[in-house]
Structure 1
Amino acid sequence: MSVTLALNLKHLHALVAVHHHGGISAAVPHVNLSQPALTQAIARLETQLDAPLFDRQPGGMAPTEAARLLVPRIERALAYIAHGVRGARRTQRLPAMPAVERYVTLPQLRALAAVDSAGSFTLAASRAGVSQPAIYRAVHDLAAAIEIPLTVRRGKTVQPTPAATRMLRPVRLALSELAAGVDDLASLRTEQGGRVTLGVMPLARAILLPQVLARFARAHPGASVNVIEGPYAELLGDLREGSLDLLIGAMRDRLPVRDIAQEGLFDDNPVIVARSGHPLARAGGFAFPQLLHYPWVIAATGAPVRARWEHMFRQHGHEPPRLRIECGSVLITRGLLLEDDWLTLMSRDQFVIERRAGLLIEIGSAGDDLRRRIGLTTRADWHPTRLQQAFVATFRQVCAERSGDAQDDWPFRYPAAR
C-alpha cells in the first residue's frame, strides 16, 4: 500500500495542531484526541512517512524540515475537503454543521472518486484492488456522514448526484496535494524519486518536448514522468482536478476558466504541409486560390489550429473549403497526407522526421499573423513540488536555447494575394 493511501485524516489534523501550537499538551484542546492518542498519532505518521516531523525539546516540539514541507500541503488538502463537503451540503440546503468534514475519511473520499471515474462499484473496486462491498460501504458511509445522497443508478452505470459532483473536484485536489507532500518528503530523503504528470496537447512540439524529457531524465534518474496526450478540453479538466500537474501546448487567446494560469515560452508558425509528390510541391510556387482545389484535414471547430486555418482563407478573400475529414490527431493526419493530395497546417517540428525522410514537405507559409504562442498551463493555485519546479526550469531552459534557432530554411512559398 502506498504511503498516501495509508494516511489518516485525524492524524493529519493532529499534525497541523501540534505544528501550530508547538507541542502535544498545547494541541490537545484543539483536537478530539487525548494526549496519549495524540502522541501515538504523530508517531504513527512519522513511521508511515519514514521521516521525523518534530525535534522533541524540553520547551516543546520544533518542526523539522519534513514537517515544514508537509504541513502547508496538509492544510491545503484539509481546506479543499472542507470546501467540498460544505459545498455539497449547501446544494441540499442543509443547515451548517460545524466541522462536518471531520466525520469523513480518506478511504471514503477515494472510493467516491473511484466510482465517479469508473461508473460502477464493481469496476471501481477492481481498479482499486479491493472488494466491491468495501467500495460500496465506503461511499454509503460517506453519504451517511455528511447526510446527502452521493450516487444514483442510471441504467447500468452509477453516476454522482449534483451534490457529489460539486464535491469531487476539491476532493481530487486534496488527494493530489497529499500525494505531492509525500513526493516532497521522498525527494528530501534521497534527492531523487518523485513524479511529474504532463498533459500534452496534439499541437505541442514533437522535437522540443523529447529534448526536455531527455535532459530532465539525465538530471533526475530516479524521477518518473507520465506524459498524457489528448484534446485540450479533456486535459484541462484533468489539470483542474489535480490529476495533471501542467499542460504543454498551444495557449488559448482567452482563458476558458479563471482558475488556471498560462506562461508563454515561444512562438510557433504553422505551415502548409503535403506529401513530397503533391502537385503544388512540384509547381515550385502557386497562387493562393489553388489551395481550394485540394482536400484538407484539420481539427474540429474549437481547436486553435481550426480557427487559424479559417482565418488564413478569409484574409485572402475566400471562404474556407468544406472539410471532408476533421481530425486532431497529428499521427493520423501525417498518415493521411502520405496517401493522397491532402493538405494540412502543422508546426514544422511535427513533421520533421517525415521531412528528413523526404516524405512530407512544407509547400507554403500560413502567414505571420497565424503565429501561435506555445507554453505551459497550470492551476492558478498550483504549488509545485521540488521535482516539478525542476521540470519547469528545464523546460524554460530548453525553450530559451531554441528561441534563436533559424527555422526559415524552407524553399517553397506562395505569392501574396493580389
Structure 2
Amino acid sequence: MPHADSLILTLVGGFVLAFAFGMLAHRLRLSPLVGYLVAGVVVGPFTGGFVADTTLAPQLAEIGVILLMFGVGLHFSPKDLMQVRKVAIPGALVQITAATVLGWALGRFVLGLGDREALLMGFALSVASTVVLLRALEERKQVKNEVGRIAVGWLIVEDLVIVIALVMLPMLIVPAGGQTDLAAMGVNIGWTLLKVVLFVAVMLVVGGKVMPWLLIRIAHTKSRELFTLGVLAIALGIAWVAYWLFHSFALGAFLAGLVMNASPLGHNAAERSLPLRDAFAVLFFVSVGMLFDPMIVVRQPWGVLGVLGIVIVGKSLAALVITKAFKLDRSSGFTVAAALAQIGEFSFILAALGVSMGAMSRGTHDLILAASLLSISLNPFVFLLADRLGGKPKPPASTSGSPPGKPIGADGPVTDAVSSPA
C-alpha cells in the first residue's frame, strides 16, 4: 500500500541535517542558527540532491513562528523591562528608525527599489536576533550585569515593535498598481487598532482570571501529557483566534504566553512546551534556509555588502551614539553595539510577509537572508573588535531586580526555542 511520505521525509531531512550542520557550526564556534540555515539551503530547491517539500515547509515554519512568539510572551517581564526603560526603550526605537532610513536609502538610491520595498527592507534589517544576542552574552558571562540587562531589554522592545508591525503591515501595504485611499486606510487602521485593544483587554482581564483557573484544573489531573497538551492547545487556539480576527498568528501567540506567564503555573507551562518549541524553531530556520538562493552573493555582491554594512556598521554606530547620549561607559557602549550587529528570526518573518503580500521581491528577500547568515557568522569577531576598541568589560555583577541566573528574558524571548539544543 503506497504511503504519502512527503511530511516524513521533510521532517527527517530537516532534523538530521540541522543537527549535523548545527554541530559543525558549534565546533567552529558559530551560532547553531548558521547550521540550521545552511541545512535548509542544502535541502532547498536551489541546490542539488534531496529537495524537501517546499509546500509543507512554510506550514511547519508557521507553527514555529507561533511557538517562538509564545516563548516571547512566556518570558516577557514588564517589571524587568521598566528597570532599564530609560535606555532600552528610546534606544531601540531610535536604532530601528536609523536602520530603516539607511535601508531605505540603500534600496532606493543604490539598488533601484521602490520606496515601499526599500522601507520594508530597512525595517527588516533593523531588528536583531534575541537568540544570537543571549548566546553571545552568556558566553561572555554578561547576562547578569547592567550591560546585559540593557541589551536584552533593548531586544524586548524590538520584539514588541515586531508584534505590532505584523498586525499593521497588511493594512499599510497597498497592492502594486492599486490606488491609495488615505481615508479608507485610516478607517481600516483605526478599526483594527480598536479590535486589537479590545482583544488585548479581553485576554488580559478575562484570560488573566480564566487561564490560571484552567491550568490549575488541568494540573490537578496529575497527568504530564494532559498538562502539556493543554498548554499547546491554549497557545495554538488563541493564535488561531488572532489570525481569524487580524490575520496575525504572532499577536495571539504572544498574548497567550504573556497571560500564561502571569499565572502561578507559568513556569511549568514554559517548561512543558520547551521541547516542542525547540523542534519547531529549528524547522523554522531550516525552512527559511530553503527559500534562500545562495547565488545572490554572486549576482549582487555589492548589494550583499551594502545590507551587511547597514547591519554591522550602521546599527553599531547608531547604538554607540545612543549609549553615549545616555552616558554609558565606553566598554558597555561597544558591547551593546556588538550584540545588536546582527539580524535573525524576526527579519525572516518580516521578509516572508513582504514576499507573500507582493511588497518585496525574492531577490530582496535573499539579500536579507544573506545579511543574516553573514552577520551571525561574523558576530563573534565583531565582539572581539568591540573588546579591543572599548577596553576591558566590567565583571558581571548580581542585580537585585532579577533572581540569580534569571535576568530579563534569561530564558529570553525565543532563547529556549533555539539555544537549548546547542
Which one has the bigger strand percentage? Answer: 1
User: Which structure has more RCO (C-alpha within 8 Å, separation ≥ 6)?
Assistant: 2
Under a length normalisation based on structure 1, what TM-score does the superposition of the two structures give?
0.20
Under a length normalisation based on structure 2, what TM-score does the superposition of the two structures give?
0.20
Structure number with bigger Rg: 1
Which one has the bigger helix percentage? Answer: 2
